[in-house]
Amino acid sequence: MSWKIKIGKDPLYPYLQIDNWYTEEELINVWKEIDFYTSRDVATIEKAENTVVAHDEKGVSKSNSFRFYLWDLYTPKGKQFSHILNCLYKQRSQEFKDLVKKAMPLHHDNYAGTNTDATMVSYYDEDQEYKPHSDGTQFTFVIWLHKEPKKYKGGDFKFTQSNQNIKCLSNRMVMFPSYLEHQVFAVKMFEDAIFGDGRYCITHFFNWEAVNVAKEDLSDDIVVPAF
Tell me what percent of the chain is helix, strand and coil, each rounded to the nearest 5: 20, 30, 50
pLDDT digits (tens, 9 = 90+) for 168-220: 999 999 999 999 999 999 999 999 999 999 999 999 999 998 876 455 544 44
Stretch 39-51: mean pLDDT, rounded? Answer: 70
Count of C-beta atoms within a 10 Å radius of residue 211: 14
Q: Taking the model in full, what pTM does it have?
A: 0.90
pLDDT digits (tens, 9 = 90+) for 60-74: 999 999 998 998 889
The per-residue b/e assignment along 31-56, b for 16 or more CB within 10 angstroms, e otherwise, is eebbeeebeeeeeebeebeebebeee
The pLDDT of residue 73 = 87
Q: Domain coordinates of the chain in residue numbers?
A: 15-206
pLDDT digits (tens, 9 = 90+) for 118-137: 999 999 999 999 999 999 99
Work out the mean pLDDT of the chain and round it to a whole number.
90
CATH 2.60.120.620 holds for 15-206: yes
Rg (CA), the chain: 17
